[in-house]
């Protein structure tokens, strides 16, 4: 991948959601630590949210909503279509800028939701790698539906083992996009439609490792040019090869991590429950109530990351818990999970 005018230069293109940005930012740090020039491309609205070492450049590509990002779009469908149009154009302009410099781009690594980045890379004759931020098992389900090997609407309660290394599963074990396909249908449609292009990439990077999904990975190598690069977490929590690498360096939401850690510091060893459903899951008020009152009935201290509470019954719950629990909109999950108090 080394270009003719200097060292290898990899352009890493991220989708502006926390669980998608984190693995790609971490990959960029790993590449940089190996002496590879690496540039991160993200939307103008999230550029300032990525704080990495000065060796990694952060460049904007437009999603068409430069002032407000995703929240500015009228619908998810409108956002994805706008990102495809504006993103393709500005990504091409960014590549052309580098091609006229001493360090032209020699490889594009892009998030799987940004499928159009593959076409841009091909226009310039640049090798491309798609990055799967999910587990390989989850991606294999989507791929088999794309190929017609599994139905989108599962009728039976138990699904026979669909791939080597994957046990028989209940419908409730499936990814939420498949168990409830009407939720976030725009994402599901995008994923299913574009999985057929996997084999057009030079590499399919998986956020996994051989020991975790070895049998399934071996089976998929006959279908995709698979390379495992996980787990994509900061070096401090793995091999400590990157000095000072204790956090992802991308925080798309504001959080008061000091408050979380101070609260956990006051709790006994392995006594606290940590609850988080991620940034994209949408729970109904009834589901939130079930979680809320279950936590209270457990009589265990709990830290709950929840985007918002609107139901008056949930607001009453918050008033009733006192010091037994802490509810925040976001936290530094790595530090919380590594804390001595978490894990009852």
**Greatest pairwise CA separation for the chain in angstroms:** 65
Phi, psi of 315 (to 5 degrees): -65, -40
Q: Hey, what are 119's tokens?
A: 């076409």
CA-based Rg of the chain, rounded to a whole angstrom? 21
User: Is 111 among the residues known to form the active site?
Assistant: yes
Q: Hey, what are 2's tokens?
A: 């080394």
Cα atoms found within 13 Å of the Cα of residue 314, Cβ hemisphere only: 18
Cβ atoms of 260 and 303 closer than 8 Å: yes
Q: Which of 20, 63, 245, 339 is catalytic?
A: 20
The continuous run of DSSP H or E covering 11 comes out as strand 9-13
User: Is 311 among the residues known to form the active site?
Assistant: no
Q: Hey, what are 302's tokens?
A: 């709990």
Cis peptide before 231 (omega within 30 of 0): yes
Strand, helix or coil at 84? helix
Cβ atoms of 52 and 149 closer than 8 Å: no
Neighbours of 210 (CB within 10 A): 10
Give the single-character DSSP code of 174: S
Strand, helix or coil at 164? coil
Q: Which of 9, 63, 111, 339 is catalytic?
A: 111
Alpha-carbon separation of residue 207 from 141, 198, 203, 291 (angstroms): 16, 15, 13, 29
Cβ atoms of 83 and 89 closer than 8 Å: no
Active-site positions?
20, 111
């Amino acid at each position: 991948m080394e270009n003719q005018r200097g060292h290898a230069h990899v352009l890493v293109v991220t989708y502006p959601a926390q669980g998608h940005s984190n693995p790609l930012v971490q990959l960029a740090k790993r590449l940089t630590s190996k002496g590879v020039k690496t540039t991160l491309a993200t939307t103008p609205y999230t550029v300032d949210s990525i704080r990495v070492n000065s060796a990694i450049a952060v460049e904007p590509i437009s999603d068409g909503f430069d002032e407000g990002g995703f929240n500015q779009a009228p619908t998810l469908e409108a956002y994805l279509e706008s990102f495809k149009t504006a993103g393709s154009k500005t990504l091409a302009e960014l590549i052309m800028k580098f091609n006229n410099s001493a360090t032209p781009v020699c490889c594009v690594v892009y998030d799987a939701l940004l499928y159009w980045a593959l076409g841009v890379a091909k226009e310039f004759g640049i090798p491309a790698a798609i990055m799967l931020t999910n587990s390989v098992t989850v991606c294999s389900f989507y791929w088999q539906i794309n190929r017609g090997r599994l139905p989108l609407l599962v009728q039976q309660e138990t699904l026979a083992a669909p791939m080597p290394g994957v046990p028989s599963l209940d419908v409730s074990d499936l990814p939420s996009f498949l168990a409830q396909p009407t939720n976030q249908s725009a994402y599901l449609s995008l994923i299913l439609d574009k999985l057929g292009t996997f084999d057009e990439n030079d590499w399919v990077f998986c956020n996994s490792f051989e020991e975790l999904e070895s049998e399934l990975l071996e089976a998929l190598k006959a279908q995709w040019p698979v390379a495992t690069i996980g787990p994509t977490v900061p070096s401090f929590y793995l091999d400590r090869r990157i000095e000072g690498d204790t956090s992802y360096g991308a925080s798309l939401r504001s959080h008061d991590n000091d408050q979380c850690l101070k609260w956990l510091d006051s709790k006994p060893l392995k006594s606290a429950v940590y609850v988080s459903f991620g940034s994209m899951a949408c729970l109904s008020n009834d589901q939130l109530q079930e979680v809320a009152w279950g936590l209270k009935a457990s009589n265990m201290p709990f830290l709950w990351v929840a985007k918002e509470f609107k139901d008056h019954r949930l607001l009453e719950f918050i008033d009733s818990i006192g010091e037994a629990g802490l509810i925040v909109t976001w936290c530094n999950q790595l530090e919380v999970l590594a804390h001595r108090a978490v894990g009852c």
